[in-house]
Chains A and B, each alone.
Chain A
Amino acid sequence: GAVVSQHPSRVICKSGTSVKIECRSLDFQATTMFWYRQFPKQSLMLMATSNEGSKATYEQGVEKDKFLINHASLTLSTLTVTSAHPEDSSFYICSARGVTSGMSYNEQFFGPGTRLTVL
């Protein structure tokens, strides 16, 4: 149980375009979802936290108008990178926590990640 999926797994886009990444909790209701970014050979950096039905809370230094997060349902959150530039190329990872029978509130389960390359 507690599976988180991401789509797409890999995307290449042209500079100036927008890219949407989906994060889904497949077998539980995700009350909170998190978005991370990871550059090569670096650790994960938390970008934002979103609770279902409310606005996302962004970490310091993360532009909310550039990285649009929507968490409209208990199983889906989306991250849209607007007007992407080559420096936005990175590995984007979502994670989710929530409730289902037998699952702790306090474990976070991660998706497999989405590799974005902006040309």
Chain B
Amino acid sequence: DAKTTQPPSMDCAEGRAANLPCNHSTISGNEYVYWYRQIHSQGPQYIIHGLKNNETNEMASLIITEDRKSSTLILPHATLRDTAVYYCIVRVSLLSFSGGYNKLIFGAGTRLAVHP
């Protein structure tokens, strides 16, 4: 799976949009971009994923560049509860029960601090 690069930490004011970048310049055509977050001492929480089109759900938006070498996770109105470590992961996504290709390998992530 392709490697990802994220800034180690970011700050955001409450109520403002938080834009978290991720570089994945070696991504291949069948690899998806996944975002998870981990609030302190809890298990990771799925946020969103995409292949090449921009995606939006109730939690966030995912913007993927046309060349797919980078992406940005957008939390439109950050709250204090969004303070967490955010992980950008690239992996192959296969519609099968085989576990081998579906491992999530976590990098260091971005520690987002939302302040009042």
Q: Are B97 and A32 in contact (CB under 8 A)?
A: yes
Q: Are B45 and A110 in contact (CB under 8 A)?
A: yes
Q: Are B43 and A46 in contact (CB under 8 A)?
A: no
Q: Are B94 and A108 in contact (CB under 8 A)?
A: no
Q: Are B106 and A43 in contact (CB under 8 A)?
A: yes
Q: Are B44 and A110 in contact (CB under 8 A)?
A: yes
Q: Interface size (A, Cβ < 8 Å)?
A: 28
Q: Are B43 and A4 in contact (CB under 8 A)?
A: yes
Given A34-B103, A34-B104, A43-B106: A105 and B95 within 8 A (CB)?
yes
**B91 CB to nearest A CB, Å:** 9
B 21-60 to A, binary, CB cutoff 8 A, 1 in contact else 0: 0000000000010001010011111100100000000000
- Is the contact region of chain B dominated by helix, strand, or loop, or is it mixed? loop
**A73 CB to nearest B CB, Å:** 15
Interface residues of A in 73-102 (CB under 8 A from B): 91, 93, 95, 97
Q: Give chain B residues whose Cβ lies under 8 Å from the Cβ of A106.
A: 32, 49, 93-95, 102
Q: Give chain B residues whose Cβ lies under 8 Å from the Cβ of A108.
A: 46, 102, 104
B17 at the interface (CB under 8 A from A): no
- Is the contact region of chain A dominated by helix, strand, or loop, or is it mixed? strand
Residue of chain A at shortest CB distance from B92: A106
Residue of chain A at shortest CB distance from B43: A110
Q: Give chain A residues whose Cβ lies under 8 Å from the Cβ of B36.
A: 110
**A66 CB to nearest B CB, Å:** 21
**B97 CB to nearest A CB, Å:** 5
Q: Give chain B residues whose Cβ lies under 8 Å from the Cβ of A50.
A: 99
Q: Are B45 and A49 in contact (CB under 8 A)?
A: no
Contact of B97 among A51, A91, A107, A112 (CB under 8 A): A51
Q: Give chain A residues whose Cβ lies under 8 Å from the Cβ of B116.
A: none
Given contacts A34-B99, A106-B102, 15 further A-B pairs with CB under 8 A are: A4-B43, A32-B99, A32-B102, A36-B106, A43-B87, A43-B109, A44-B38, A45-B106, A46-B106, A49-B99, A51-B97, A93-B43, A105-B97, A110-B45, A115-B41
